[in-house]
Amino acid sequence: MGRLREWSRDWLGRSNTRPSDRKIDDPLTILQRIFATLAAIVAVLSNAATSILVPNLNANAAVILRIVVTLATLVAVNYVVTAKDTAETVSGLSSYTVRTYRFSNTDRLIARGIVVVAIVMLILNLVPAPQPIRNCDLTAIVRWQQPMVGTARPLLLLLSAGDQEDRYPVQEGKPVAMQVPSAHLSSFSITLLWSDTSRSDFGQFSGCSEPVSKESDDDRAKINLTGR
């Protein structure tokens, strides 16, 4: 329990251990160590880095490799933060032992930063990426509501979404596979085109999940839409 308490104090900077006399005064050296730290974090957590370092690695082996590298990194980081030296100090007629950290405060601060950045990146990797909105696949079945009069016959279903209009051959009671672009799922329209160029408008539709039934504006046809 005492070791755990001492370890936590080392990490939290609450220990009574004296700081190391080592100092890093060169800003370039500090930057080099910071960039090396960031490179190590990317190598541990990035799929791209793992595939570059070890090509043709299967998923299970990649996970094991990442765990091994992570554990090795944590051991090294913990050593930098907690390693101590002891020295005999003479003061007047008495001597006493002084414990000092082996690494400078800058080194220990960078080591703590590795853990903080790694935790943040791990959390970001665990957050699921937003799923792209897919095109909507629909099945349409059209039935005539009135007996055929004259020579006019149904020809096509016209699906209008934005500036795009797709045409689908139609027969009574036969399923028609249609697709709505993902960018226009909030509003699209379907019209039945007859051989005499007249039209039966089914109006506006939106969404893709719920089955929908509508009659045309001229009551000549009825359409049933279901998602696929």
Task: Indicate yes or no: pTM above 0.75.
Answer: no
Give, for all 228 residues of the chain, the pLDDT tens digit: 678 888 788 787 777 787 777 766 566 666 676 676 666 666 655 655 566 666 666 777 777 777 777 777 778 888 888 888 887 776 666 767 778 888 888 788 878 877 777 777 777 766 776 777 788 888 999 998 877 767 788 889 999 988 888 999 998 889 999 888 888 888 899 999 998 888 999 989 888 777 889 999 988 899 998 887
Q: How many CA atoms lie within 13 A of 76 on its CB side?
A: 13
CA distance 64 to 66: 5
Q: How far from the centroid of its chain's Cα atoms is residue 218's Cα?
A: 48
What are the φ and ψ backbone dihedral angles of 185, each rounded to 5 degrees? -65, -20
CA distance 214 to 201: 10
Domain spanning 136-227 has what CATH number? 2.60.40
Residues of the chain within CATH 2.60.40 domain(s) are 136-227
